[in-house]
Amino acid sequence: MFKKFVETEKRIVAAKRKLEILDQTEWMLRERIIEVDMEIASVKRKIAKIDQEIINITKVFARIPKIERDIRKLNLGIISSMRGNGKTKEGSDDESTGSSPDS
């Protein structure tokens, strides 16, 4: 009877050790899960920033044709205004030297 009691007590001690190890393992796993969750949150924030940058780039690319049209219009406007003023090379030289009929 005493022998069975000693065996049972040894089993209880061994079971308690295993339980302590399992508890430690559980806490280590919980801590690791928290770390992974924080890493996931960080990655999600980075992905959101990249998504926003992609949206901004897409908007800029969508505006390029309009900007090109505006540049063409400005260039045509400058050319037209130069032709419309009727300035010649000589006329512009006169203005640059400061000589005028009034002086």
Q: Can you give the residue ranges of every domain in the chain?
A: 2-73
Spell 7-34 as b/e; 16+ CB within 10 A means b.
Answer: eeeeeeeeeeeeeeeeeeeeeeeeeeee
98: DSSP letter: T
Backbone angles phi, psi at 11, to 5 degrees: -65, -40
> Could you list the mean pLDDT of each consecutive 10-residue stretch along the chain, which spans 103 residues?
84 96 98 98 98 96 92 85 63 48 46
Q: What is the pTM of this model?
A: 0.51
Cα-to-chain-centroid distance, residue 63: 20
Q: Specify whether the CB–CB gap between 100 and 94 falls below 8 A.
A: yes
